[in-house]
Amino acid sequence: MRIDEDGMLQGARYIASPNCDERPGGCPVSLLVIHNISLPPGQYGGDGVIELFTNRLDPDAHPYYQTIRDMKVSAHFFIRRDGEIIQFVPCGKRAWHAGASNWNGRERCNDFSVGIELEGSDDEAFGEAQYEALAQLIGVLKEAYPIEGIVGHSDIAPGRKTDPGPYFEWERVA
């Protein structure tokens, strides 16, 4: 597994998200942000996350989808419960995953971070296959970019976000 010169993870399934743009000049990737997501909430294995990140989510497919119908979000990577890694945005582009955020006094973490979504929720442990895939992904990202930190969404948007949640085992990514 490696990241190529275009910021693509070799061996990952790629599904292009339109919810990205160019990074500002002088903003190399230096931060990894870990999230969790499941759509519908607490349900795994479906296409809800893919549909959300590609702006194809049917707002009538589930009552919760009405509340997120106008969201335009993405992440660079999504790790399913079985360890499959799907890439939505090349690492050289800015994915829209962090929102209003701050890390070490720097605002707008999307500018200099890679977003990694784990299929899951704050209420449940993540699986072994996910941790294995995440560890491999972090390793190749550290080889490709000058990573200075690995944080949760809750760390860069405290009070607004809680993911990856209390069941995430931080010692497994150190």
Catalytic residues: 117
DSSP structure string for 71-140: -----SEEE-TT--EEE-S-TTEEES-S-S-EETTEE-GGGGEEEEEEE--TTSPPPHHHHHHHHHHHHH
Taking the C-alpha atoms of residue 87 and residue 100, their distance in angstroms, rounded to an integer, is: 23
Backbone phi and psi for residue 67, each to the nearest 5 degrees, phi listed first: -80, -15
Its sign, for the CA torsion 111, 112, 116, 121, is negative
